[in-house]
Amino acid sequence: MNLRVFAILFILLFFISLNGEVTNNFAYADFLKSEKLYDLAIGEYYRSMYNGSKEDTTRALFGIAECYAKSHKFIEAAKTYEKLEDQEINWDAIKLHTFLLTDIKYYYESNKLIDKFIQALPKEKQDSLLIYKAVNLINLGKYNEAEETLNQISTDYPKSRALDIQAIMDESLPLKFKKSGKAVFFQAILPGAGYLYCKMPQTALATLVVNSLFGYTIMDNFKRGNTGSGVFFSVIGTGFYLGSIYGSLQAVSKYNKREMENFSNKIRP
């Protein structure tokens, strides 16, 4: 038995010896969470919730939501935040729920959540949510609506961040996406050129070299009268050539996705 498992078992026995009080349940749940034993921690948070007060229930639900999020069970985390929001207008739950939905690219759902609660909050908290709403709209490609949302923000820090986001939009938009048709055309004319268009010089060079070697081998075999070998290498070479054209399409997709992710990271709240 390794030292870490022994330590966890020892602490478990220690907490059990303290008569199962709610406070001790929380302490043990927090410990399990810190050890990244999220499933076990969730069970302890539920025990704390069912044995305690309303405040204990709130604390337990926050712990459960955090465990779900850290174990990449994002839908379960979102549903847990919904339970907190159903109890009362809880700013921390709304904020974390909004951030979670935005972070997992549920932009539309994040904005629905914001619209549901925003009017019940003070102006500064409204402006904080409007930052998220604008970012969601940008990621959905609704740039004009995003600018209108940013212009509604007036309190100090959210306004400063709104101005930063507007400056990034002015500098970066429209995003310089690559076009599939161009990549295919370049790749068909000169193997490797499609990859070079997508700023992948190493792949471009490798593609050019491989296709050139196939071309030389095919021509050499036909010149020597080795028709069978020429046909054989022609079939294989054609496969590589067509594969490289398809690869240039994938390169465009990867390039555009990377551009969008870089832009999204710049405007994150």
Domain ranges (residues) in the chain: 1-88, 102-174, 180-266
CA–CA distance from 83 to each of 41, 102, 196 (Å)? Answer: 18, 19, 51
Which two tokens mark 247? 């690869």
In order along its 269 residues, the chain shows pLDDT tens digits of 566 655 555 555 455 444 444 456 788 889 889 889 999 999 989 888 776 688 888 999 999 999 999 999 999 999 999 988 887 888 999 999 999 999 999 999 999 999 999 999 999 999 999 999 999 999 999 999 999 999 999 998 899 999 999 999 999 989 899 999 999 999 999 999 999 999 999 999 999 999 999 888 889 888 888 888 888 888 988 898 999 999 999 999 999 999 999 999 999 88
Torsional sign, CA 189, 195, 198, 201: negative
1-88 homologous superfamily: Tetratricopeptide repeat domain (1.25.40.10)
- Return the amino acid letter for 67: C
Assign 3-class secondary structure to the chain. Answer: CCHHHHHHHHHHHHHHCCCCCHHHHHHHHHHHHHCCCHHHHHHHHHHHHHHCCHHHHHHHHHHHHHHHHHCCCHHHHHHHHHHHHHHCCCHHHHHHHHHHHHHCCCHHHHHHHHHHHHHHCCHHHHHHHHHHHHHHHHHCCCHHHHHHHHHCCCCHHHHHHHHHHHHHHHHHCCCCCCCHHHHHHHHHHCCCHHHHHCCCHHHHHHHHHHHHHHHHHHHHHHHCCCHHHHHHHHHHHHHHHHHHHHHHHHHHHHHHHHHHHHHHHHCCC
